[in-house]
Structure 1
Amino acid sequence: MHLRDCAGGVVFHEESVFLLKNEKNEWVMPKGLIKNNEDPEEAALRRVFEETGIKAEIIEQAGRTYYEFYSITRQMPVCNRIAWYVMKTDSEEFRIAESEKYAEAGFFPVLDAIDRITYSQDKSLLIQSYKKYCQKTGREPQY
């Protein structure tokens, strides 16, 4: 199995979180590969900006997720190990950089986002990240 290290962001603006809808109609959060010798935090900020145009800041580590799939191009199983970070941004402005990969995107109220997110481990990640976000920013959770 081929192991790939990735990093991503759970990006909040006030009481909303940013999601992307990919080409498989899955609602996900921005993430991507960590480049050679790149710090995971730097990679997460870079990937969020590259995919969304959002300038965010990291406020806390969120956790890790793992997912496996079979790569047709590599002809082998691949495991993505993703380091996630809780992030905040001061603006709801974004742009979809890779329109061939992402059909829709936006900031969604947290409860709506939990319903939209495709994978259960990502739902759990969002819930835990929202708790950390509220603690760090002094917000009262809205659920």
Structure 2
Amino acid sequence: MIVRNCAGGVVFYANQVFILKNDKNEWVLPKGKIRNDEPAADTAYNRIDIEAGLEAEILSTAGETCYEFFSVTRKRPVCNQIVWYIMNAKSKEFQVNKAEGFVDGGFYPIDEAIDKITYSQDRSLISLSYRKYKEMMKEKVAI
């Protein structure tokens, strides 16, 4: 089995989270493979910029997920291990990168995004990250 280390962002703006729809009709979070020993945080920043044209700051780690699939091109199973970051977008402006295989995307209210998102572990990740995000935003306002 091929193991790929990846990183991505759960990107919030106010009470909304950014999700993407890929060309397989799956709603996902922005993420990508860590290349050349790049720090995971840098990969997360790069992927949200490349896939969505978003600029955001990392507030915290969100956790890790792992999923397996069979790669038709490699003719082998692949395991993606993903480090996630809770991120706060600097604005609501985005640009879905169709050249990267995305057909739609945007900021959605949390409940709507959870309904749309394809994979159950991503639904859980959004829910848990949003709770943590709200706490961090309350603390920022209190300071």
For the 8 Å contact 2:51–2:100, the answer to whether it is kept is: no
Name the CA distance, whole Å, in 2 between partners of 1:85 and 1:100. Answer: 21
For the 8 Å contact 1:5–1:82, the answer to whether it is kept is: yes
For the 8 Å contact 1:23–1:100, the answer to whether it is kept is: no
> In the alignment, residue 17 of structure 1 is paired with which amino acid?
V
Does residue 48 of the first structure (1) align with residue 77 of the second (2)?
Answer: no
What is the deviation of 1:61?
A: 0.2
What does residue 60 of structure 1 align with?
60
**Overall identity of the aligned pairs, in %:** 51
Distance 1:100 1:37, change over 3 A: closer
For the 8 Å contact 1:64–1:82, the answer to whether it is kept is: yes
> In the alignment, residue 32 of structure 2 is paired with which amino acid?
G
The farther-off stretch of 23-32 and 96-105 is 96-105
| Pairs aligned (count) | 139
Name stretches of at least 5 consecutive residues in structure 1 with no aligned partner. Answer: none
TM-score between the two structures when normalised by the length of structure 2: 0.94
Name stretches of at least 5 consecutive residues in structure 2 with no aligned partner. Answer: none
What is the deviation of 1:66?
A: 0.7
Name the CA distance, whole Å, in 2 between partners of 1:37 and 1:5. Answer: 10
SS in 2 for 1:111: helix
Does residue 104 of the first structure (1) align with residue 109 of the second (2)?
Answer: no
Provide runs of 4+ in structure 1 moved above 2 Å.
none
What is the deviation of 1:100?
A: 5.7
1:64-111 C-alpha deviation (Å, 9 max, x unpaired): 111111111111000000000000012111011234611110100011
> In the alignment, residue 46 of structure 1 is paired with which amino acid?
N
SS in 1 for 2:77: strand
Name the CA distance, whole Å, in 1 between partners of 2:99 and 2:13. Answer: 23
* Coordinate RMSD, CA, aligned: 1.2
TM-score between the two structures when normalised by the length of structure 1: 0.94
Q: Which has the higher helix share?
A: 2
